[in-house]
C-alpha cells in the first residue's frame, strides 16, 4: 500500500527546482511514475510529496529543426516510437522505444524518467550513445548541457545534482551515409542485453563505426576501442573481430552472473549481437 502523498504541479522548471530544494528528501520528481510508484510501493524510496513534471510545457516539446531532434524529458516511450520525425531521423531509437516493456509502460514511462533513473536494464540510452546525444539539465538558476556518456555515471547514478531537473535530450542526426541498428535480447520485460551500432560502408569497407552495449554492465557504454579496430576492414572481418573481443568487453562492462544468465553467456551474446547489429546498420541504407 502507498502512504498518502501530496502532489505539487509546477508549470515552470524554476518552480519545480525550488520545490525540490525546499522540500529536500521529502520530495521526489515524478514524470510517468512507472518506476517511482513501484519503488514507493515496495518501500525502496520514501516520499511525502511528488513534484509532477508533466505540466511544464518545455518538457513536453519535440523540436526537429536544425539537424537535431530536441526531445522534452516528459515525452513517453510510445510517443517517441510513433513520432514521424523520430522514425525518420533516428529510426533505431524509434525501434528501441517500441520494444520497451509493454504498451502500459510505454504509455506511462517517459524518456527523461528512463535516463534519470539509469536502470542498467534499459533500451533508449544505448541507442542515444551512438547518436552522440546530450542532455540539458536545469535548476532555478540556469541550465547546463552534459554529453550522455558523462550523464550516465554508474548504475542508478547520473550527473544530476540536488535540485536539478532533466529537461531535454538533444539527438544529432547521424553523419551523411551512416545508418544505425538496434537489437535486444530479453527473457523478461526488461532487456538482458541491448546493442546499438551506426556505420558507413564504402566499397565494401567500413569507414565509420559507432558501437554501444547496454544492460550487461552497470551502465550503457560506447565501445570506442572496438570502433577503431573495425574501421578500414570488411564487414565479415569486423564481425570476426567483434566476436573475439570478449576480454575487452569483460574489462569494460564487468558483467556478473545473475538470474538473466552467466557473465560468460552475456559476453558471448554481446560479441554475436554486435556483429549482427553492425550488419543491420551497414545494410540499412
Ligand atoms: C514492468 C516494467 C518493465 C520495464 N521494461 C523496460 C524495458 O524493456 N526497457 C526500458 O528501457 N525500460 C523499461 N522499464 C523502465 C521504464 O522505461 C521506466 O520505468 C520509465 O521510462 C521511467 O519513466 P517515468 O517517466 O515513469 O519515470 P518516473 O517513475 O516518474 O521516475 C523515475 C525516476 O526518475 C526521476 N525523474 C523522472 N523524470 C525526471 C526528470 N525529468 N529529471 C530528473 N529526474 C527525473 C524520478 O524522480 C525517479 O527517481 C520498465 C519498467 C517497468 C515497471
Q: Is the CB of 189 within 6 Å of ligand 1?
A: yes
Predicted pLDDT at 285 = 67
In the DSSP assignment, the letter for residue 45 is S
Q: Is the CB of 113 within 6 Å of ligand 1?
A: yes
State what percent of residues in the chain have pLDDT above 70: 100
Q: What band does 220 get if pLDDT is binned at 50, 70 and 90?
A: very high
Buried b (16+ CB within 10 A) or exposed e, 45-80: eebebbbbbeebebbbeeebeeebbbbbbbbbbbbb
Predicted pLDDT at 211 = 98
| Alpha-helical regions (H) of the chain | 13-23, 36-41, 77-82, 84-89, 91-98, 103-108, 111-117, 124-130, 148-151, 224-230, 235-244, 246-253, 263-282
Residue in the block written with cell 520545490: 19
Closest CA to 217 of 141, 172, 270, 283: 270
Mean pLDDT of all residues belonging to the chain:
96
**In angstroms, what is the span from residue 200 Cα to ligand 1's centroid?**
33
Mean of pLDDT values over 226-244: 96
Question: Per residue in 129-154, pLDDT tens?
Answer: 999 999 999 999 999 999 999 999 99
In DSSP terms, 211 is beta-bridged to 197
Q: Residue 1 above 80 pLDDT? A: no
Name the residue at shortest CA distance from atom 39 of ligand 1. Answer: 113
**In angstroms, what is the span from residue 279 Cα to ligand 1's centroid?**
30
Angle at 129 between CA 146 and CA 79, to 5 degrees: 90
Report the nearest atom of ligand 1 relative to the CA of 166: 42
Q: Residue 208 above 90 pLDDT? A: yes
Amino acid at each position: 500500500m502507498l502512504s498518502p502523498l501530496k502532489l505539487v504541479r509546477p508549470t515552470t522548471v524554476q518552480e519545480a527546482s525550488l520545490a525540490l530544494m525546499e522540500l529536500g528528501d521529502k520530495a521526489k520528481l515524478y514524470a510517468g511514475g512507472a518506476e517511482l510508484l513501484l519503488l514507493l510501493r515496495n518501500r525502496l524510496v520514501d516520499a511525502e510529496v511528488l513534484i509532477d513534471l508533466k505540466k511544464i510545457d518545455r518538457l513536453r516539446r519535440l523540436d526537429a529543426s536544425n539537424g537535431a531532434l530536441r526531445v522534452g524529458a516528459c515525452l513517453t516511450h510510445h510517443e517517441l516510437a510513433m513520432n514521424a520525425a523520430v522514425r525518420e531521423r533516428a529510426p533505431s531509437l524509434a525501434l528501441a522505444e517500441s520494444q520497451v516493456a509493454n504498451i502500459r509502460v510505454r504509455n506511462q514511462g517517459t524518456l527523461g524518467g528512463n535516463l534519470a533513473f539509469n536502470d542498467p536494464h534499459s533500451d533508449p540510452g544505448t541507442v542515444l550513445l551512438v547518436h552522440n546525444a546530450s542532455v540539458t539539465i536545469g535548476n532555478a538558476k540556469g541550465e547546463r548541457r552534459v554529453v550522455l556518456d558523462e550523464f550516465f555515471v554508474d548504475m542508478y547514478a547520473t550527473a544530476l545534482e540536488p535540485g536539478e531537473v532533466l529537461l531535454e535530450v538533444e539527438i544529432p542526426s547521424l553523419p551523411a551515409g551512416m545508418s544505425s541498428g538496434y537489437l535486444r535480447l530479453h527473457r523478461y520485460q526488461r532487456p538482458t542485453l541491448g546493442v546499438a551500432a551506426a556505420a558507413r560502408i564504402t566499397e565494401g569497407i567500413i569507414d565509420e563505426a559507432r558501437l554501444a552495449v547496454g544492460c550487461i554492465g552497470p551502465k550503457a557504454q560506447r565501445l570506442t576501442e572496438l570502433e577503431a579496430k573495425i574501421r578500414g576492414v570488411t564487414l565479415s572481418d569486423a564481425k570476426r573481430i567483434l566476436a573475439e573481443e570478449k576480454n575487452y568487453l569483460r574489462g569494460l562492462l564487468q558483467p556478473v552472473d545473475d538470474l538473466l544468465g552467466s557473465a560468460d553467456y552475456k559476453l558471448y551474446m554481446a560479441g554475436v549481437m554486435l556483429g549482427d547489429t553492425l550488419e543491420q546498420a551497414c545494410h540499412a541504407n
